Amino acid sequence: MSELPIRDELRGVEPYGAPQLDVPVCLNVNENPFPPSEQLVADAARAVADAVRGLNRYPDREATTLRERLAGYLERESGVTLETGQVWAANGSNEIMLQILQAFGGPGRTALSFAPTYSMYPEYARDTSTAWVTARRDDDFGIDEDTALKAVAEHQPTVVFVASPNNPTGTAVPLGLVSALHDATDGVVVIDEAYAEFRRDGVPSAIGLLATHPRLIVTRTMSKAFAFAGARLGYAAASRQIVDVLRVVRLPYHLSAVTQAVAVVALEHAAELQERVAQLRDERDALARWLREQGLRAAESDANFVLFGRFEDRHAVWQALLDHGVLIRETGPDGWLRVSVGTPEETTAFKVALADVLKEQR
């Protein structure tokens, strides 16, 4: 058989993703450890039944009800009023990133980000034939404004990605930096706020800048704080013009009627999540403190995970934890590991396992 005519940049490439292993304690992909409430389950079941009764028809291509509800949620969460036409939704915020690159990237164009950061961005750049460049974050994983503006001037990106709070470091950037980046580029600036609900008090969301920054896109997701990763629902807030461009590149009827229905139900239950999110934030702070008490470094985090280290051989530590039934993530700069905040029981299991592993190592 002759060789398949695969694009050169895809030849020999393995599908990327965190290992999905069957382990007692999974703290590797920053999920919310608390499942949806039984009330939400019951309401979603009814909404799904209704949606299924209409599955002979295509879904609402514009997902209007859902986008209205998302705008309402953002208003309650961030105090910013948005029109429905300024909100966009897709199958996870990852699909939104891809749509942004389909619309604003492409051959001969460049996307810029700040490393270490989310490992999926370069994949979407590759898939859309967009050149991918990174500038470095500083030693405490913040972004130095001079470095950022120099990178913009040098690379002339049409898309700039800043995850804030950043994955895998947990670092949020100040709004001054977002504003400076926006004003320094003719491209779109994407602030990926997948973990926004976990930010500490006083850390603002970039949603508040939308009115004055026309090329700003803020992406959010229901995968983390909302405890809805399996539903695949991400969304973006931006100018109406930007949303209209994303509507051009989306696949027809990209959001199934079932997805739209369950997402609307989850939004109706948003208030009950807040307590859980507050608990996870407290657990995160306690976990970071505990890691430091063990003589380790733990990065400041505004997300639901902590990056910690440094280890001479991080893979050995990761593997030893796995042998203790605890799966975390081997990611970030060399020597560091990332652990998601779990239930109190899961966090305890992690601490017991890590204490053991550290003892064995000493």
Ligand X SMILES: *Cc1c(COP(=O)(O)O)cnc(C)c1O
Question: Which positions touch ligand X (CB under 6 A)?
Answer: 30, 92-94, 118, 163, 167, 192, 194, 221, 223-224, 229, 234
Helix, coil or strand: residue 337: strand
Whether 322 and 300 have beta carbons less than 8 Å apart is answered as no
Least Å from the CB of residue 294 to ligand X: 25
Q: Which is nearer to ligand X, 157 or 165 (CB)?
A: 165
Point out the residue whose Cβ comes nearest to ligand X: 92
Q: Which is nearer to ligand X, 135 or 163 (CB)?
A: 163
Q: Which is nearer to ligand X, 151 or 263 (CB)?
A: 263
Least Å from the CB of residue 239 to ligand X: 21
Least Å from the CB of residue 284 to ligand X: 15
Give, to the nearest 10 degrees, the angle between helix 257-268 and helix 64-78.
30
Closest by CA position to 301, among listed 153, 190, 167:
167
Q: Which is nearer to ligand X, 229 or 358 (CB)?
A: 229
Q: Which is nearer to ligand X, 93 or 185 (CB)?
A: 93
Closest by CA position to 240, among listed 75, 70, 88, 67:
88
Least Å from the CB of residue 225 to ligand X: 11
DSSP state of 329: B
Least Å from the CB of residue 100 to ligand X: 12
Least Å from the CB of residue 96 to ligand X: 8
Q: Which is nearer to ligand X, 233 or 298 (CB)?
A: 233
Give, to the nearest 10 degrees, the angle between helix 92-104 and helix 240-249.
90
Closest by CA position to 118, among listed 16, 203, 214:
16
Helix, coil or strand: residue 78: helix
Whether 298 and 92 have beta carbons less than 8 Å apart is answered as no
Token pair 């803020």 is at which residue?
A: 218
Whether 330 and 318 have beta carbons less than 8 Å apart is answered as yes
Q: How far apart are CA 164 and CA 184, in angstroms?
A: 19
Q: Which is nearer to ligand X, 157 or 234 (CB)?
A: 234
Least Å from the CB of residue 228 to ligand X: 9
Torsion of CA 206, 209, 210, 214, to 10 degrees: -120
